[in-house]
Amino acid sequence: MGAEPMRERFVETASSLLDRDERLVVVLAEISAKLFAPAAARHPARVVNVGIREQLMVSVASGFALTGFRPIVHTIASFAVERPYEQLKIDLGHQDAGAVLVTHGASYDYAESGRTHQAPEDVAVIDALPGWDIHVPGHPDEAERLITLAAAGRDRAYVRLAISQNSEPHRDGVVRRGNAGTVVAVGPMLDRVLVATAGLDLTVLYFATVRPFDGALLRATLSRPDVVIVEPYLEGTSCAEVASALVDVPHRLLAIGVPKLEHRRYGTIADHDAAHGLDAPSLRLRIVSFLLRPP
């Protein structure tokens, strides 16, 4: 495993929470099991590795929840969300069972591993199910805070960890104020959005929590009704949220994210960012042409 500060912080945070809260359990499907070995040694009944059985991982979490526990469920996003999707819908949602689903791998953190390990769709498909909060931390400190908060809750929460991160932690809200439109940066996209919008007269909002979506803040801080949203997953994932927040305001919206296509490339995260126009220079071109040179 290369450097994955958010994933490492997750293991530290969850292990520490297990020591303090006897209602917490961690359910794994082999991935990160070695990292949780010390916690499993301290709490053998509350750290369960079901093996490479992701459907069972979610079902077991449901059973734990239905007997009074708060499960943290974890593996790579593609195997945690897409493979056991019906278990998320039925075993958690339909049973009204709470859980914290923490994933890593993000859209293409393991770019060299190819499409099977890439999950730019994860947030969109989780968002299709009722009752999920969705957190996309941009820094290990945010990951720790959001996981701790979610673990203390009762409902369903999705926490999407990534290798890409910002240089500093932030709180959701206004990062910069301007008069020529608003750019919403989600999670790890903030630093590059700040570079891309340097010197421009734009409002920049930061959201690590995208569901519920803070449409009220977007509306309250709107200068011109021109909005760009920059998300690190499937482009357009939050368009309906923006449209809902501005339902009675004629507005323009540019949704930037990972395009819906089979990229079929290996390489690095940076290679994929560049290919999808998600690096800072590409973002600047797209933001400037949309917000500052309107048709």
Partner 1 sequence: MLPSLTTTTTPTGYAELPGLMTRMTGDEKHEPSATSTLDALWVLYERVLRVTPATAGDPDRDRFVLSKGHGPVAYYAVLAAKGFLDPEELSTFGQSGSRLGYHPDGRLVPGVEIGSGSLGHGLGIALGMSLGLRAQDSGARVFCLVGDAELEEGSNWEAIQLAGRLGLGGFVTVVIDNRSATRGWPGGIASRFEAEGWTSATVDGRSHVDLEAAYRSATANRPHVVVAVVEVKDGR
With CB under 8 A as the contact rule, the residue among 18, 61, 106, 275 that binds partner 1 is 61
Q: Which two tokens stand for residue 254?
A: 């540019």
- Measured distance CA(134)–CA(209) in Å, rounded: 6
Verify binding: residue 19, partner 1, rule CB under 8 A.
Answer: no
Burial of 221 (C-beta count, 10 Å sphere; 0-12/13-18/19+) = middle
C-alpha torsion sign, points 128, 139, 258, 255: positive
- Measured distance CA(295)–CA(292) in Å, rounded: 9
With CB under 8 A as the contact rule, the residue among 15, 17, 40, 64 that binds partner 1 is 64
Verify binding: residue 51, partner 1, rule CB under 8 A.
Answer: yes
With CB under 8 A as the contact rule, the residue among 68, 130, 199, 250 that binds partner 1 is 68
CB of 20 to partner 1, least distance (A): 16
Element (H, E) at 132: strand 132-135
Closest to 244 in 3D by CA, of 227, 269, 260: 227
With CB under 8 A as the contact rule, the residue among 37, 66, 152, 249 that binds partner 1 is 66
With CB under 8 A as the contact rule, the residue among 53, 117, 252, 286 that binds partner 1 is 53
Per-residue x/- track, 91-120, partner 1 (CB under 8 A): x--xxx------------------------
By the criterion CB under 8 A, which residues form the site for partner 1? 25, 27, 45-46, 48, 50-51, 53, 55-56, 58-69, 86-87, 90-91, 94-96
